[in-house]
């Protein structure tokens, strides 16, 4: 039975799943879902995932959504190298702690930033209100500081001396502002050294391949966007501007 992954590599949870599968030589069929074209609202995709989100894993009639559940499934099913999720309860505790916090503490903040700094102006032709954008940026910086002070501290990686799943998930998220030409690592030597260690562990080629779509999104031509997708995006923008 073949493993199918439905992904858009503009999305950090998708990049985590993609890079993890590649690093661990897990063979999969790749189904690109273009979120910016609204593919996730199609009837075909809704039949796969009624939540209309990516990533999605499918194996026969078994389907999983939520990146962390997918990553854990891959770890257990393919018995990947032990360092991704070591059996030591305290190390595992540190990884779980970050994975539980990051959905709200990092993912949502980074997504809001990418939308407000880059995607909204690209799609609507209008900047977000300056004060709202500054609030979003302040939130990003506050939580990146929390990440550095609480989760990273003075360790090389979140769970100590070796990369784990937590580092992979974290770096994919923290790259999101870079897609909007805001280098969150600049002027933060500890954070930047950690990013470099994670990138070296992943391998620069795979790291670059996984981020190519995000880093090229500035050149995206929005004129072909379907009106129904534009409408949904504008509704989201109005919500974000509040
Ligand atoms: N907590 C979920 C987040 C999934 C998620 O929100 N994915 C985004 C892309 S980063 C998505 O599919 N968004 C489409 C939408 O909400 O319309 C996970 O970790 O997989």
pLDDT digits (tens, 9 = 90+) for 14-35: 999 999 999 999 999 999 999 9
pLDDT digits (tens, 9 = 90+) for 56-112: 999 999 999 999 999 999 999 999 999 999 999 999 999 999 999 999 999 999 999
Distance in angstroms (rounded) separating the CA atoms of residues 152 and 190: 9
Atom 9 of ligand 1, nearest CA residue: 11
Same domain, 182 and 70: no
Same domain, 96 and 202: yes
Same domain, 60 and 110: no
8 A C-beta contact, residue 9 and residue 157: no
pLDDT digits (tens, 9 = 90+) for 157-179: 999 999 999 999 999 999 999 99
Domain assignment of residue 41, yes or no: yes
DSSP letters of 124-175? HSSPPPHHHHHHHHHHHHHHHHHIIIIIITTSSBTTBSS--HHHHHHHHHHT
Owner of token pair 């190519």: 212
Same domain, 66 and 95: no
Atom 16 of ligand 1, nearest CA residue: 53
Same domain, 102 and 162: yes
Distance in angstroms (rounded) separating the CA atoms of residues 64 and 56: 6
176 lines ligand 1 (CB under 6 A): no
* Residue 237: other Cβ atoms inside 10 A: 18
53 lines ligand 1 (CB under 6 A): yes
Same domain, 226 and 148: yes
**Could you identify the atom of ligand 1 that is nearest to the CA of residue 70?**
20
55 lines ligand 1 (CB under 6 A): yes
**Could you identify the atom of ligand 1 that is nearest to the CA of residue 55?**
20
Distance in angstroms (rounded) separating the CA atoms of residues 22 and 20: 5
| Among candidate residues 47, 80, 113, the one where a domain is terminated | 80
8 A C-beta contact, residue 239 and residue 202: no
**Could you identify the atom of ligand 1 that is nearest to the CA of residue 35?**
14
Domain assignment of residue 241, yes or no: no
Note the pLDDT of residue 242: 64
Instruction: Quote the domain boundaries for residue 67.
Output: 3-80
Same domain, 53 and 154: no
Note the pLDDT of residue 77: 97
Domain assignment of residue 242, yes or no: no
Question: Distance of alpha carbon 16 from its chain centroid, rounded?
Answer: 6
Domain assignment of residue 200, yes or no: yes
66 lines ligand 1 (CB under 6 A): yes
Q: How far is the CA of 29 from the centre of ligand 1 (A)?
A: 20
Domain assignment of residue 175, yes or no: yes
Q: How far is the CA of 116 from the centre of ligand 1 (A)?
A: 17
Percent pLDDT > 70 in the chain is: 97
Same domain, 158 and 201: yes
179 lines ligand 1 (CB under 6 A): no
**Could you identify the atom of ligand 1 that is nearest to the CA of residue 54?**
12
Same domain, 65 and 97: no
Domains identified in the chain, total number: 2
72 lines ligand 1 (CB under 6 A): no
């Amino acid at each position: 039975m073949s493993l199918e992954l439905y992904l858009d590599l503009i999305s950090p949870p998708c990049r985590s799943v993609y890079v993890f599968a590649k690093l661990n030589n897990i063979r999969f069929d790749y189904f690109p879902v273009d979120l910016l074209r609204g593919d996730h609202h199609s009837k075909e995709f809704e039949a796969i995932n009624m939540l209309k989100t990516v990533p999605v894993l499918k194996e026969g009639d078994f389907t999983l959504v939520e990146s962390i559940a997918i990553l854990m499934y891959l770890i257990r099913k393919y018995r990947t190298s032990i360092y991704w999720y070591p059996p030591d309860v305290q190390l595992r505790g540190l990884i779980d702690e970050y994975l539980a916090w990051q959905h709200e503490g990092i993912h949502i903040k980074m997504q809001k930033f990418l939308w407000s700094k880059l995607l909204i102006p690209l799609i609507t032709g209008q900047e977000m209100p300056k004060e709202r954008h500054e609030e979003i940026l302040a939130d990003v910086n506050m939580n990146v500081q929390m990440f550095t002070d609480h989760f990273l501290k003075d360790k090389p990686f979140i769970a100590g001396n070796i990369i784990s799943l937590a580092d992979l998930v974290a770096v994919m998220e923290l790259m999101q502002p870079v897609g909007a030409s805001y280098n969150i690592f600049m002027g933060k030597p500890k954070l930047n050294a950690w990013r470099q260690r994670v990138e070296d562990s992943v391998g620069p080629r795979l790291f670059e391949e996984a981020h190519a779509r995000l880093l090229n999104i500035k050149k995206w031509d929005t004129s072909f966007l379907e009106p129904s997708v534009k409408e949904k995006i504008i509704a989201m923008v109005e919500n974000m501007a509040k």
